[in-house]
Amino acid sequence: MKKITIAIDGHSSCGKSTMAKDLAREIGYVYIDSGAMYRAVTLFALKEGMLTKDAFDTEALQKRMGDIRISFRLNAETGKPDTYLNDTCVENQIRTLEVSQHVSRVAAIGFVREAMVEQQRQMGEAKGVIMDGRDIGTVVFPNAEMKVFVTASAEVRAKRRYDELTAKGETCNLDDILQNVVERDRIDSTRAISPLRQAPDAIVLDNTNLTIAEQKQWLLDLYRRIAEAD
Ligand code: DC
């Protein structure tokens, strides 16, 4: 079967990465989490003191963009790729609520997006990749053979994120997470550059009432239909 490019976009916390990772493992494709890249830039800005609750020194970040190297390495134990920032594994640090609360602001900046999109295109050059994010089917790979736009109710998405964080031992509050989910949707969909929107040729998957097994099968069936016809 010919190798294709698979773009999975959609709202935050609707299980895009889980489904993309599962499909990649099943069909032997490379999985790239583009949101992790924006999270890694956010972590860098927080650690360097450029970004606080009240202020964001974007000029300082722009000057240091060349010092940010993001890569993914397969974790032999989990079988999943971990995110590295300048050779340090930051997979857990980029998933905290603090990073989630700042990442939309960082992802709305033009020079950040330009740098990330360039890296994403390089990573996907060889095809056989599944990338998830907000602008993969619209901006990064507008010619992707398979495009999926995932959504689910905000309440269901907040509960899933809450379960994920508490399973990792983080103390969190469901209302704070729901607020964060709604706020990120708002910023992601209304920003001037590459806002979150459904590509006209994307197929919508509303997984509010689907189990992980059901959505896995849905995705696999779609992939087979597209890859076999291509
Ligand atoms: O998928 P995620 O929640 O890890 O993404 C983190 C943030 O990064 C999210 O608020 C939107 C942004 N993002 C983006 O703007 N473009 C992408 N391709 C991926 C993520």
The model's pLDDT over 15-74, given as tens digits with 9 standing for 90+, comes to 898 899 999 999 999 999 999 999 999 999 999 999 998 899 999 999 999 999 999 998
Residue 94: predicted pLDDT: 97
Q: What is the distance in A from the centroid of ligand 1 to the CA of 65?
A: 18
In a domain, 230, yes or no: no
Q: What's the number of domains the chain is made of?
A: 1
* Pocket test residue of 17, 18, 19, 34 for ligand 1, highest count of atoms within 8 A of CB: 34
| pTM given for the model | 0.91
Q: Is residue 226 part of a domain?
A: no
pLDDT of residue 80: 84
Nearest atom within ligand 1 for CA of residue 39: 6
Cα–Cα distance list, 81 to 17, 32, 125, 205 (Å):
11, 8, 18, 24
The domain that holds 83 is classified in CATH as 3.40.50.300
| 227 belongs to a structural domain | no
Query: How do beta strands 30-33 and 203-206 pair?
Result: unpaired
Flag whether 18 is in a domain.
Answer: yes
User: How many other CB atoms are found less than 10 A from the CB of residue 46?
Assistant: 18
- Residue 230: pLDDT above 80? no
Q: Is the pLDDT of residue 148 over 90?
A: yes
What's the pLDDT at 1? Answer: 81
Select from 13, 134, 182 the residue to mutate for testing ligand 1; criterion: most ligand atoms less than 8 Å from CB. Answer: 134
Q: How far is the CA of 170 from the centre of ligand 1 (A)?
A: 21
Percent of the chain whose pLDDT exceeds 70: 100
